[in-house]
Amino acid sequence: MVRWLASRTAQAAATFVVAVVLMFFLMRLSPGDPLARLVGDRQVSAAELASLRTRFGLDQPLLGQFRAFVGGVAQGDLGASIAYYPTSVSELIVARLPATLLLGGTVLIINFTVGIVIGVWQARHRGSAGDRWLSIVSLTAFALPSFWLGLILAWLFGIHWRLLPAAGMTTPALDPGAGLLPRALDVARHLVLPAATLCIITIAVTIRHQRSAMIETLTADYVRTAQAKGLSERAVVWRHAWRNAMFPLLTLFGLWLPVLVTGSVFVESVFNWPGLGSLAAEAILNRDYPLVMGTALLVAGAVVAGTWVSDVLHVALDPRVRV
């Protein structure tokens, strides 16, 4: 087990390094000047452009830039953003991370609790009218484009009924003396619509995975044995069947972890949620190399860590895999 763990960890680390190196060079090899958006429509002299290139190290050869990047990362310095100069990339990421974690975490929790309960219910009532309707509704929600659903919800609940704020994460003009509870409630109100949008669209995947895994498990001999022993329905379903039906969800959970830190670009844009997804998208659009690499490090780390966690959990919980 220890050997497997060491090998899997080394594999994850290698994947991370290769991903980062590839991203570094692909980003720089793509056509387009990173200073173009910074300068915009303004007419600038060649001297000014040269000065800006020197500031961001873009006058160095590619390998020199890579060495500087690796050296900086080793010292925990991701450099200064081009678009947000002189703010450092680390500052920008740290500032945006809480919003992304809050949104991603909320969606993840709702997705995996509600999704599992509905998936199990559907498996137990397979073929019933309720099962069919839930499948139709969840798949329809899955097929909706997130930005479209976001716009509809924002219009309906924010503009038409004025029940919830349609944008942002906080009310900036809230009384500065407001306590923790009013502030938390303010954030919660802002969280409802973006979280609901993401949940509605993504929960179908969890439901489908859970439903099929559970249907397969419910027909297994050990489940029939448990029922024959006279165990209650709840005990059979949750203690015997579900424990074996949760493994596909572990893989799904591993794939979901990166979303926790990267957020959703569309939903963040529509609801003006100040998270990392919109920051990363903006950085790519602006060719803001340091910021792109900073967010790329985070994404690559999250993807690799998510896969690693789900693999390790799989091995830890399922003795058959160890064999």
Partner 1 sequence: MSRRTLIWAVVLTLAACTGTERRAPTTLTIAVGQLASSPVPTMTEGASANSDVANLLFLRLAELPPSYRTSGDSGFIPRLARSWERRDSVTLVFHLDPNARWQDGVPVSAQDVAFTIARARSVSPQMATLLTTIRSVEVEDSQTVAFHFSEAYPEQLYNATYHVPILPAHLLEGVGDHSEQQSAFVRQPVGSGPYRLAEVAPGDHLVLQAVEDFFLGRPTIDRVIFRLGSDPEARNNMLLTGQADAVQAIAPADAPRIAANPDLALYTVPGFGVGYLLFNQQDPNHLDRPHPILADPRVRSALVHALDRPRMLQAVYREFAYLPQGPAARLHWIVDTTETGVPFDTTVTTRLLTQAGWARRSDGTWSKGGHALSLTLNYPSTSRVRAQFAQLAQEQWRRVGIDVSLNGMEGALWIDRRTDRQFDIDFSSATMDPSPAGITQSWSCAGIGGSNVAGYCDPKVDSLLGLALTDAGNALAHYRAVLETIRADAAAAFLYSPSTIFGIHRRFENVTIVPYSYWLDVWRWTVRNGAGGGASQPADG
Positions in the binding site for partner 1 (CB under 8 A): 31-34, 36-48, 50-52, 81, 83-87, 91-92, 95-96, 99, 151, 154-155, 158-159, 162-175, 186, 189, 269-272, 274-275, 278-279, 282, 285, 287
Long-range Cβ pairs for the range 25-33 (8 Å, 24+) = 25/62, 25/66, 27/287, 27/289, 27/292, 27/293, 27/296, 28/62, 28/65, 28/289, 32/287, 33/287
Which amino acid would we find at residue 252? L
**How far apart are CB 50 and partner 1 at their closest, in Å?**
8
Q: How far is the CB of 41 from partner 1 (least distance, A)?
A: 4
User: Measured from the CB of residue 110, what is the shortest distance to partner 1 in angstroms?
Assistant: 23
Nearer residue to partner 1 within complex by CB, 158 or 248:
158
When the beta carbons of 187 and 309 are compared against partner 1, the nearer one is 187
Give the nearer residue to partner 1 in terms of CB position, either 4 or 148. Answer: 148
Q: Could you tell me the smallest distance in angstroms from the CB atom of residue 199 to partner 1?
A: 20
Least gap, CB of 231 to partner 1 (angstroms): 49
**129-138 b/e with 16+ CB inside 10 Å = b?**
eebeebeeeb
Q: Which is nearer to partner 1, 3 or 160 (CB)?
A: 160
Q: CB-based burial of residue 323 (10 Å sphere; 0-12 exposed, 13-18 middle, 19+ buried)? A: exposed
Tell me whether residue 160 or residue 320 sits nearer to partner 1 (CB atom).
160
- For residues 278 and 269, is the Cβ–Cβ distance under 8 A? yes
Least distance to partner 1 from the beta carbon of 70, Å?
A: 22
Nearer to partner 1, 47 or 129 (CB): 47
Q: How far apart are CA 236 and CA 230, in angstroms?
A: 9
**Other Cβ atoms closer than 10 A to 281:** 17
